[in-house]
């Protein structure tokens, strides 16, 4: 007798104390796992060109302060500080082309510095 491996193995799910047997699709089995966002990293939300940087390393910023201008598709987007703290590191320069999700700045929060 030969055992065959199932393409989609059976899984058991427990919902409110009731156990259900189900097949999981390939898309679920090979999904990208969730990872916690790093709030101290400011990333580009769209590919574009850095036109102006308003902050310097070591400078203190408050939530909502203007950090830089990112031009994409002839539109100038102002990136604002997502939290208060000080600029730990700037990873880009003016005129540089950036990709989506590229790290632009690192911010040290005030709670970590104390």
SS3 28: helix
User: Is residue 85 included in any domain, yes or no?
Assistant: yes
CATH number of the domain residue 67 falls in: 2.40.50.100
User: Is residue 1 included in any domain, yes or no?
Assistant: no
- Rounded CA separation 83/77 (Å): 18
Name the residue range of residue 86's domain: 41-113
User: Is residue 108 included in any domain, yes or no?
Assistant: yes
pLDDT value, residue 102: 95
CA angle in degrees (0–180, nearest 5) for 33-35-40: 160
Of 14-23, 50-59, 93-102, the least confident: 14-23
Domain count, the chain: 1
Query: Is the pLDDT score of 61 beyond 50?
Result: yes
Mean pLDDT of 88-102: 96
Query: Is the pLDDT score of 89 beyond 90?
Result: yes
């Amino acid at each position: 007798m030969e055992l065959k491996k199932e393409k989609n193995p059976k899984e058991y799910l427990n919902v409110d104390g009731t156990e259900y047997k189900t097949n999981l699709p390939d898309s679920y089995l090979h999904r990208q796992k969730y990872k916690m966002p790093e709030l101290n990293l400011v990333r580009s939300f769209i590919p574009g060109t850095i036109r102006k940087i308003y902050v310097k390393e070591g400078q203190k910023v408050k939530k909502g302060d203007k950090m830089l201008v990112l031009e994409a598709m002839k539109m100038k987007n102002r990136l604002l500080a997502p939290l208060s703290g000080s600029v730990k590191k700037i990873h880009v320069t003016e005129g540089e082309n950036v990709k989506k999700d590229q790290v632009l700045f690192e911010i040290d929060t005030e709670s970590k510095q104390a």
